[in-house]
Structure 1
Amino acid sequence: MDSPFKRKLEEIYQRYGFELAKVYEPEDVVVFTLKTGYFDNADIVPLSANANTKKPFEDFSASGYACTVRSFLSPEQTENELFKGFFSVSSILDRLEKDYNQFTNNIVKSLAEDARYEYINAPYSVNGKSGIKSPAGEVVARLNSPRPILFLIEAAAGFGKTCTAYEIVHKLIQEKSYLPLFSELSRNRKAPIFRYVLLDEIDRKFPTLSSRLVQSEIVNGRVVTILDGFDELLRKTDEVDDFENQEPMLETIGQFLTGKAKIVLTTRRTVLFEGDAFHTWAADHSEEFELVRIRIGEPSLVDWLPEDRLKAIQATSLDIRNSLASPVLLSYLRCIPHDKFQAAIESPQDLVERYFSFLLERERVRQDLQMNVETQKSILTTVAGDMITCGYTSEQRDYIVDLVLKNCIQEIEEALARYPSSERPDKEFIANKIASHALLDRSNKEENKIGFINEFVLGYFVAANIFQDKEWLNDDVRFLEPAVASYRPRTPIERRELLDRIRQSLDFTPISYKADFTARLIGAIDFPLQSDEAEGLEFDAIKFGQKEIASFQFNDCTFRSCEFALDNISYATFLNCKFYGDNVATGIPAGPIYVLGEIGDSEFIKNAIGNIGHSAADNLSNQSNLLQRHVLEKFWPVGREKLMHKHRPISGICNGHGGFRPDEIFESIHELKKRGILLQPNNASFVELNFDRLPEIRQILGRTQ
């Protein structure tokens, strides 16, 4: 007996470790056996609705097998039943739901006893277009796709990456159609490699199953991989944002993206995912898997705060644009009791300190911890300092306890002295209370890791270290960005002080970070932007042109209510940028400014720089062939026998002018698209070479056959 039906069943059972033991042709039954340690198991599988399972059951039971008689099912149904049984789907979903409830309770329980957690959507984009569902909804809606998909969810420090990851898990728990492989990646003092990290997660989450079986179900799309904090793995070399050093890690991810696999990575915005190299890598793999890039923006006050509290805040002198850009503070103002809310907005300049004093005082009462607010801050600052020095954001509980005992002995002894002598605990007792602090997170129970509960809190204590050390110098963005985020709600003077302390560190970071952090702290770019480019930044009420901007390119950036002093701007290119709100341009440009492929209202700057269209068009008519050759050489460089790229990012083509103006190159790209030589793939930021027009491409490039 050999049929496609039987062969398919055999293939499925073998993948789960079974062996074909016997075929009962008259009974129309096959028996698969599995040995697991001491036990021998047998599945009696009918091949038709009329199959007779009695004799096979009796034979194998008599041989000592624990037998299970299966119902007649299709191969797909059989595979689904094996998946549910082997992966203990129900129990894993129950455990994940408990983890979700613990995580959400930890967020709100420190604010009020009756506070309820609610995931609140922030504005977001999907592959550059505004989203209309939710970040988690965008992921879940695509899980049925037959193609493998890499979801990249990006957000600034403290803007909800982990909450979004948990929300995806929560939706999958409710649907019960997929099994999440969820991990919060924490970079400890070792330098992990992605493949080993993922395989280790598989072994930890499914200890009784072979990693090969789990990987096969990832490929089948039944196991959805969700890795929170991917940027934690990127600091294994000093060149964290150097694409060539990190490309092997992305290639490893690509190896898992086959079949119907879905992998979700959450990460802070990192230069690794910007620029020509990454875009080219993504385009080169576009036929193998799809990239869905979700960027989460700043929260909207209307979504977070009830109307009465929003009106109360608007009636104060609180700088809403800066002070309430943090979901952490919005949660605080949303959940705390009414009397605490009134006290918090009475002195807006003290909002951050009131937030921490509120939490630390509650913690003192909750744990019966004889330690005042300032002492608690001192110990947590020490913990953050060790994180900075040793380069980790999460560590084993025992390590944190030992760290406190070693470095905070004076604070511990002062606390012990406040206990009555008859009730006085030992030092280890106090250190363990600190390790159980409400501002420290213990959600990743399997590894018993401890880190700060969110990046805003981490940033607060990182900033405390920065101000303690006049010689502080560190270019690790995992600490710089949270520090900047924690200081945005503060006064302009305080923000300027932090910037002055980290300026030297920012000189060692890529220009995108330096521009972003400076803009967030002082509302201006007060250093030159020259011969470089920035991508994917959001500027809100920022002043440009205080210092020279020359030969600089802004790619896919968003400008809201910004000011441009054109006198200090020359040879600047705004490519595929978005302009919203009341942007203003003043003065006479110091040199050419190009606004290409813009979205929104860019008339403010076009009117100021004059109409450049006619001169560009005249020039194009005289040298269109040279321009087209320049564009096509980005796909097929001079000296190469074969084509190097099928896709290229428009930003990379327009940069590195080769003697041509960006607007000329941009218009030439559009001309080649009109002629069908270049095509537009799914991502509007790319162009694709049309291989059907290869003879014409050769002719433009002057290449022989």
Structure 2
Amino acid sequence: MDNQLKRGLEEIYRRYGFETAKVYEAEEVIVFTLKTGYFDNADIVPLSESAGTKKPFDDFSASGYACTVRKFLSPKQTETELFKGFFSVASILDRLEKDYEQFTNSIVKPFADDARYEYINAPYSVNGKDGSKSPAAEVVARLNTTRPILFLIEAAAGFGKTCTAYEIVHQLIQEKNHLPLFSELSRNRKAPIFRYVLLDEIDRKFPTLSSRLVQSEITNGRVIAILDGFDELLRKSDEDDDFENQEPMLETIGQFLTGNAKIILTTRRTVLFEGDAFHNWAATHSDEFDLIRIRIGEPSLVDWLPEKRFKAIQATSLDIKNSLANPVLLSYLRCIPEDKFEAVIESPQELVERYFNFLLERERVRQDLQMSVDKQKSILTSVAADMIAGGYTSEQRDYIVDLILRNCIQEIEDALALYPSSERPDKEFIANKIASHALLDRSSKEENKIGFINEFVLGYFVAANILKDNEWLNDDIRFLEPAVISYRPRPMPERRELLERIRQSLDFTAISYKTDFTARLIGAIDFPLQSDEAESLEFDSVNFGLEEIENFQFNDCIFRSCEFLLEKMSGVTFLNCKFYGRNNANGIPAGPIYVLGEIGDSGFLRNALGGSESIDFSTLPTQELLLERHVLEKFWPVGREKLMHKHRPISGICSGYGGFRPDEIYRTIHQLKKKGLLLQPNSAAFVELNFDRLPEIRHILGRTQ
């Protein structure tokens, strides 16, 4: 008997809850038993091709067991078969396929009955480098690697995070090599603890299996955890975005990232993932698992629209960059019938209102709902108001129905008056129709939850609440960002009006949010940027220099066709930024400006600076030693007996000037890399201390043994 084979099979069966009942040496058979409720099951497992299974089968059948004779398989093959049987892989994949069809139909069917869904790629990057496949393909291509990976798929509100999550699920269904554990983490009004949320999702998706077994298959890489809307869990009403408050959530995920585990999180861009603390957390765990960050950008009109419609839109006065850089509106323009499309381009400045009026009119027909478009908008605005006040984006259906009955009784009574007396329903009937509204029935994954169908729609009704309240104040990014997104397609006066209403709220957000939202709404930064930094933002046709920009650092940002007024800029650093299109710089700098590690065409800026930022600083050996010491102290601070950091983000090192210029620090980092004292880990945005060279590092720092 092959004892190694026997031990391997015992270990696998034990993980699935079986006990080793008996070993038949002569027959070369091992019997595993499993009790489930009233039933006793026995697997008759041969240990060779010539094994005799009749006697074990007869023995255990006579003892009342339901016996199954298995084929002779290797431990790996056995594990695969047990996985397929216990996890009901075929039926789960079939259910997920139906969920995918329902989700995709919910996107296109409101526009036309014969509209067909197609996942369309937007520009994206993978760990800072431009991608060439698709976000979903980038993930799926890495699932077979023998190393745990945490995938972060980041995008602005309404820019395809959920569609990408579903596309990953769809590709996994097609290949049938992995089983998705897919969950939309639409946040309830109660602030959940991530560990319990994740375990609850496991129990809900696999109610007949132990959570320990499911977790082990996540570790083995067979079950792929796809958690859509992770940012929904990050913000609690009594907490801010500080990393220290949210780190336990990431540590929980880190505990699952062992073996071959793959966990995929989709999230809107959040301060949590941009600060020095998160980079250090990721670097601290870089030996345990890989971090793959996929950032989805704005969609390309050429990819979304048929050539005829694209040219028709180009011929209008529509501000294409601002008005159509949104997947929701592009889907609308792609799918609506020809006569509706022609009506839209006749008055393109009314695009957003036409979009909503179109959907709300179709809703009246679809549900035979005797309620005007304006009354529907009023009710949905009231629902959004309660979401803002309660800090939730999805709730139980019964709660939403009760909310409508409490707060919208006048709209309901007006609608009832339009029905013939012989066919007039009751109030609950109308409230339930609204709760089943096409703009509210978001997801098949949360059968009893109600939320807006997408972030753009949420933002439309959030903005309606903002504009009717002169003293509106709320710094919750989950509501601010959708409102900004929904207003980008509007004329400039309307965008400015929204910005003025949210300015006070933006003062309570991180500088990256304030900068990003202001740029998106008015195409300019009209407030001072001082002694701070912004990371991973995209600026398209933005005017910099209306107000002072002093001692400010842009990290990993993208600038397309932007204007820089240099006389308002001093002590500004562009670190690892990308410059595309027709950027322009004018004037004489008010102070030093540093362009470090850039990608693309930064010649416009260097020419305007006239080489003023390229001062030779590698002068005296003493200066060089002080600079090297300054950099290395970021890993081993003064006063600390032990090393504090193995990895450090370059942006963090360069932002702490300590009397040195950013270009000096940046160049010193590269000198230390050439000397081998610093290494480059998986990400080009980090440097790593070379522990093999600790004696030299100690010498530079002036530390004794």
Same fold (TM over 0.5): yes
Structure 2 residue matching 1:615: 3-state secondary structure: coil
How far does residue 235 in structure 1 lie from its aligned partner after superposition?
1.0
CA distance in 2 between partners of 1:445 and 1:633 (Å): 50
DSSP-derived class of the 2:627 partner = helix
Distance 1:67 1:669 in 2: 67
* Counterparts of 1:601 and 1:301, CA distance in 2: 24
* Alignment-derived partner of residue 205 in structure 1: 205
For residue 235 of structure 2, give the secondary structure of its aligned residue in structure 1: helix
Q: Which amino acid aligns with 2:437?
A: H
1:613–1:564 Cα change, 3 Å: closer
The 5 Å alignment of 1:638-649 reads 638-649=638-649
1:188-267, aligned counterparts within 5 Å? 188-236=188-236, 238-267=238-267
SS at match of 1:639: coil
Give the whole-Å Cα distance in 2 for the aligned partners of 1:197 and 1:685.
Answer: 32
Q: Give, in whole Å, the separation in 2 of the partners of 1:507 and 1:458.
A: 22
Alignment of 1:165 onto 2:165: yes
Compute the displacement of 1:612 (Å). 4.1
Contact preservation (8 Å) 1:240, 1:272: no
Q: Which residue of 2 aligns with 1:545?
A: 545
Paired residue for 1:316?
316
Q: How far is the alpha carbon of 1:27 from its aligned partner?
A: 0.4
For residues 52-103 of structure 1, what are the alpha-carbon distances to aligned partners after superposition, in whole Å with 9 as ceiling and x for unaligned?
0000000000000000000000000000000000000000000000000000
Distance change in 2, residues 1:277/1:704 (3 Å): same
Q: Which moved more, 1:239-248 or 1:495-504?
A: 239-248
Matched residues in 1 for 2:651 and 2:583: separation? 23
Letter in 2 for 1:55: K
User: Is the 8 Å Cα contact of residues 19 and 34 (structure 1) preserved in structure 2?
Assistant: yes
Give a deviation string over 1:427-464, Cα, whole Å, max 9, x none: 11100000100001242445511100000000000000
Residue 122 of structure 1: aligned partner: 122
What amino acid maps onto 1:87 in structure 2? F
| Partner SS, residue 312 of structure 2 | helix
Within 1, Cα distance between the matches of 2:173 and 2:592? 55
> Deviations along 1:591-646, whole A, 9 cap, x unmatched?
01111111111111111122246523344655000000000000011111111111
The answer to whether the 8 Å contact 1:440/1:451 transfers is yes
Q: Equivalent residue for 1:527?
A: 527
Deviation at 1:236, TM superposition (A): 1.8
Aligned in 2, Cα 1:578/1:445: closer, same or farther, shift over 3 Å?
closer
* In structure 2, distance between residues paired with 1:71 and 1:156: 51
Residue 572 of structure 2 aligns with an amino acid whose one-letter code is A
Q: Deviations over 1:471-526 (max 9, x none)?
A: 11000000000000000000000000000000000000000000000000000000
Q: Distance in 2 between matches of 1:56 and 1:618?
A: 82
CA distance in 2 between counterparts of 1:58 and 1:210 reads 31
User: What is the percent sequence identity of the aligned residues?
Assistant: 83
- SS for the counterpart of 2:630 is helix
Aligned to 2:400: 400
Equivalent pair of 2:592/2:613 in contact (CA under 8 Å): no
Matching residue of 1:70: 70
Name the counterpart of 2:371: 371
Which residue in 2 is equivalent to 1:490?
490
Superposed CA offset, 1:156-180 (max 9, x none): 0110000000000000000000000
Change (3 A) 1:620 1:102: farther
C-alpha contact (below 8 Å) 1:442/1:448 kept by paired residues: no
Partner of 1:383: 383
> What does residue range 38-437 of structure 1 map to in structure 2 within 5 Å?
38-236=38-236, 238-437=238-437
Instruction: Find the counterpart in structure 1 of residue 3 from structure 2.
Output: 3
For the aligned residue pairs, the C-alpha RMSD in angstroms reads 1.0
Residue matched to 2:665: 665
Q: Is the 8 A contact 1:299 1:325 kept in 2?
A: yes
**Whole-Å Cα distance in 1 between the matches of residues 384 and 614 of structure 2?**
58
Residue type of the partner of 2:249? M
Q: What whole-Å deviation, never above 9, does each CA across 1:240-274 have from its counterpart, x for those lacking one? A: 32111111111111000000000000000001000
| Native 8 Å contact 1:458 1:482 kept in 2 | yes
Count of residues paired in the alignment: 705
Q: Within 1, Cα distance between the matches of 2:279 and 2:614?
A: 32
| 1:681 positional shift | 1.1
Distance in 2, Cα, partners of 1:575 & 1:353: 41
CA distance in 2: counterparts of 1:210 and 1:586, whole angstroms: 65
CA distance in 1 between counterparts of 2:506 and 2:554 reads 19
How far is 1:238 from its partner? 3.9
1:433 & 1:143 partners in 2: Cα distance? 42
Structure 1: gaps spanning 5 or more residues: none
Structure 2: how far apart are the matches of 1:655 and 1:620? 23
Q: Distance in 1 between matches of 2:82 and 2:127?
A: 37
Give the stretch that moved more between structures: 232-241 or 668-677. Answer: 232-241
1:621 to 1:522, Cα distance in 2 relative to 1, 3 A: farther
C-alpha separation in 1, matches of 2:677 and 2:671: 9
Partner SS for 2:286: coil
Deviations 1:302-348 (A, max 9, x none): 00000000000000000001000110000000000000000011111
Moved >4 Å (runs of 4+): 618-622
Q: For the residues of structure 2 that align with 1:611 and 1:239, how far apart are their CA atoms?
A: 46
| Counterpart Cα distance in 2 of 1:56 and 1:612 | 87
The letter for the 2-side match of 1:188 is: N
Q: CA separation of 1:434/1:281 partners in 2, compared to 1, >3 Å: closer, same or farther?
A: same
The alignment partner of 1:236 has SS state of coil
**Once the two structures are superposed, what CA deviation does each residue of 1:644-678 show, in whole Å capped at 9, x if it has no partner?**
11110000000111111101001110110111111
Matching of residue 464 in structure 1 with residue 477 in structure 2: no
SS at match of 2:489: coil
Cα distance between partner residues in 1 of 2:447 and 2:190 = 14
Q: Distance between the aligned counterparts of 1:434 and 1:415, measured in 2?
A: 12
Q: Deviations over 1:255-298 (max 9, x none)?
A: 00000000000000001000211111101100000000000000
Q: Deviations over 1:168-212 (max 9, x none)?
A: 000000000000000000111111011000000000000000000
CA distance in 1, matches of 2:620, 2:193: 49
Counterpart of 1:121 in structure 2: which amino acid?
N
1:207-253, Cα deviation, whole Å (9 max, x unpaired): 00000000000000000000000000011254432111111111111
Aligned amino acid, residue 535 of structure 1:
E
Structure 2 Cα separation of the partners of residues 449 and 560 of structure 1: 40
Provide, for residues 137-172 of structure 1, a one-character-per-residue CA deviation record: whole Å limited to 9, x for no partner: 000000001000000000001100000000000000
CA contact (8 A) 1:554 1:577 kept: yes
Q: CA–CA distance in 1 between the matches of 2:332 and 2:644?
A: 53
Q: Tell me if structure 2 keeps the 8 A contact 1:620–1:664.
A: no
Q: Please name the residue that 1:25 is paired with.
A: 25
Give the match's secondary structure for 1:534: strand
Amino acid paired to 2:43: D
Question: 1:673 & 1:573 partners in 2: Cα distance?
Answer: 21
Is 1:448 the equivalent of 2:448?
Answer: yes
In the alignment, the residues of structure 1 paired with residue 27 and residue 673 of structure 2 have an alpha-carbon distance, to the nearest angstrom, of: 65
Q: 1:420 to 1:580 in 2, by over 3 A?
A: same
After superposition, where does 1:595-634 map in structure 2 within 5 Å?
A: 595-612=595-612, 615-619=615-619, 622-634=622-634
Aligned partner of 2:507: which letter? D
Aligned to 1:509: 509
> Could you tell me the TM-score, scaled by structure 2's length?
0.99
Q: Structure 2 CA distance, aligned partners of 1:154 and 1:81?
A: 36
Q: Indicate the SS of the match to 2:617.
A: helix
Structure 2 letter corresponding to 1:196: Y
